Amino acid sequence: MDILKRNNVKVFGEGNTTMVFAHGYGCDQNVWQDIINTFATGYRVVSFDYVGAGLSDLSAYDPARYSTLEGYTQDILEIYEALGLTDTILVAHSVSSMIGLLAGIKRPDYFRNIVFVGPSPRYLNDGEYFGGFEKEDLDGLFEMMDNNYLGWSRALAPSIMGNAERPELGERLTNSFCATDPEIAKQFARVTFLSDNRADLPHLTVPSLTLQCSNDMIAPIAVGEYMNRNMQGNTLVVMDATGHCPHMSAPGETIKAIKDYLN
């Protein structure tokens, strides 16, 4: 199988160091369009779509392979192998943060730094751990998704985006959700929201940055603080940006935070 075709991999830009951009749930690589060109002047840039998203090869989707985050982790590692990448900077949004974490644990030589944007190692509350969701919250979310995925997308995407005063942002995320294959999206949602990667955090040796939005319904500030406490070599930056997608709602602040960290 052609890995680069499977994941609709794009390579551009100039530089000795490669930056890889990994999109979050319900999105594709187009969500990076407001920040990615800024980095293409100093870096070789790689973006891609997970199988089931964007212009990926839908025929490559295997429900068994993608029943856990490990399947998506393998996708990233295979892209790296196909391009011969090492010592890169990975910028990973939302669920891609944990996918990138697992990849970094398996192959730390592939990564110089990992930038986590709105990460969460567990979305469910658990004892003293606050992830932001109770089980009944997620049960309701999955039921609504199963009954009417497009309606669920239109209802929830603007809330995930936040920034209600800028409805065009919510519409952009809604369109991204609606463009995702519904059956794949339903399984990926369960894999995403029911995952628990808390025990994996201490095993990452790659230096990392956590970009935490100041008001995020998907990954509250307590989650960013938990990430920072339980990882070695992690830097936490709480942004002024609100919502779950600062690369779309506050691209300037996101670019500055990444550049400040890398410099």
Catalytic residues: 94, 216, 244
Q: At what angle do helices 167-178 and 149-161 cross, to 10 degrees?
A: 140
CB count in 10 Å sphere of residue 35: 19
Closest CA to 126 of 196, 67, 214, 192: 196
The answer to whether residues 205 and 180 touch, using CB atoms and an 8 Å cutoff, is no
Q: Which residues of 73-160 form beta strands (DSSP E)? A: 88-93, 111-117
The answer to whether residues 73 and 104 touch, using CB atoms and an 8 Å cutoff, is no
Closest CA to 97 of 87, 256, 105: 105
